[in-house]
Chain A
């Protein structure tokens, strides 16, 4: 991922800044600038998610792309934030600990790096909160 492409999403990736459509009340993470319900009538504002949620589904990645190969195995999940937005993120726990319905909360973590001399990507992961 190029430096600018990563850099422009830093608030979203570091601090879970998503969006909300104030017309219908729906929350979006990943952020959307256009509400699929209200379309052009939607009024979109930034929203910082509280970071609490639960696992909708998960897997344990054992074979990854080159960027993630040295961190396998890792738990990857779809997390439903309490505000009602779903996102894909890693959960910092053992494969045995992970389960559907598990409560989790967001933490700031190193995600990957672009090779040995490339940019280090930081972002949001989740940890068990039970």
Chain B
């Protein structure tokens, strides 16, 4: 297997893009990534795109061909493949690109993610996202996505110590980081009071515990490490690429508030990279809801179960804390265009490692990305490091 490096990154502004279409979002991110990598369209060997549900959000399937076409690559006839694992689609698209290059099958590969969510109303959007869980046996009973994570939160609070204020602090921290990120959907700071006074969505989760509905796209270019310096002076190496699955329904899990797929993917990633927790300088975790960040920090092994709330409250996970978590603002403040999120996490880590995260720069040589599909039925964990 060959070592793999990221040589270029691009990301659109995350937010409500009323005047931009699905395909144009992708084209913008792709062009930024190619420009950053110094690669021309003719050099691309393959394209992998993460997308959860263009079929329901914009009534368009066959996304692989569509984006290759509108990226101007139809006449090159490159292989272009859509990858789907709900909100982990982006992380899996990146992993497919890494596997392809590592195997020696392809050399210059684009991994992208795109989602256009605002072309349908909120009700339809909530219904589409419920498809990330078990449609027949969760959605049928009236389960919404926030509802499922709310049941994780209630189980967690029943088993471990976590105050409502500590949970709110996750959102406060991520908004503080998002305020410093030019691509973030929400760039205003909030307080614990903002969260606690927002409307209840699914008890105990309130509106400000939830990531928003977002349009956006992100793309990165990966090549064999041995070729990386042909294109850039600042390649970022892929130290680990791990993935795990679990039961589709939350009710079938071993324990409701532990994501065993996160535990498994995290362990595999550390093993592949041959590093320890203390070697990780920053984390981008999947905070689709505040409780999800609490679970992620613990399930990845950065602290014991039941301790992440206290760590958050003490500022350990804040921008200049010991373990900065979600320097991009996370899904909460940067936004969550579901298929694009996993690639945006890679984008943020590369920005940080290259020292280009102006205004929110942390001291980072090694970063970890954690991307979750559904309530934890798919998890992708990547570790990246400078070289």
Contacts and interface: CB of A to CB of B under 8 A. Distances in A.
B103 to A, nearest CB: 30
Given A9-B136, A58-B151, A100-B158, A65 B141 contact: no
A23 B348 CA distance: 50
Contact of A62 (B141, B152, B203): B203
Interface string A12-49: 01000000000000000010000000000000000000
Overall SS of chain A's interface: strand
Interface in B201-215: 201-205
A78 B201 contact: no
27 contacts: A9-B136, A57-B151, A58-B151, A58-B154, A59-B153, A60-B200, A60-B202, A61-B147, A64-B142, A64-B144, A65-B123, A65-B126, A65-B127, A65-B130, A65-B144, A66-B123, A66-B124, A67-B127, A78-B250, A78-B251, A78-B256, A86-B251, A88-B138, A88-B143, A88-B250, A111-B141, A112-B140
B231 interface: no
B374 interface: no
Given A56-B155, A76-B147, A69 B203 contact: no
Contacts of A88: 134, 137-138, 141, 143, 249-251
A111 B139 CA distance: 11
Nearest to B252: A86
B272 interface: no
Among all A-B residue pairs, the 4 with the closest Cβ atoms: A59-B150, A66-B123, A65-B127, A57-B155
B143 A62 contact: no
B376 interface: no
Interface string A69-84: 1010010111000000
B199 interface: yes
Nearest to B133: A88
B15 interface: no
Contacts of A107: none
Interface in A81-130: 86-90, 95, 100, 111-112, 121, 123
Given A56-B256, A88-B251, A63 B144 contact: yes
Interface residues of A, number: 35
B339 interface: no
Given A57-B256, A62-B201, A86-B252, A121 B140 contact: yes
Nearest to A87: B251
Contacts of A111: 140-142
Contacts of B138: 88
B91 interface: no
Contact of B142 (A13, A61, A78): A61
A56 B203 CA distance: 15
A66 B130 CA distance: 12
Given A57-B154, A88-B138, A76 B256 contact: no
A61 B138 CA distance: 13
Contact of B140 (A58, A74, A123): A123
Given A57-B155, A78-B151, A68 B142 contact: yes
B330 interface: no
Of the candidates B123, B140, B158, the one having the most CB atoms from chain A within 10 angstroms of its own CB is: B140
A77 B152 CA distance: 11
B327 to A, nearest CB: 30
Contacts of A5: 136
Given A69-B123, A90-B141, A63 B202 contact: yes
Contacts of B250: 78, 88
A58 B138 CA distance: 13
Contacts of A1: 140
B201 A63 contact: yes
Given A59-B151, A87-B251, A88-B137, A66 B142 contact: no
B146 interface: yes
Interface string B103-124: 0000000000000000000011
Given A57-B154, A63-B126, A76 B201 contact: no
A96 B147 CA distance: 17
A101 B289 CA distance: 25
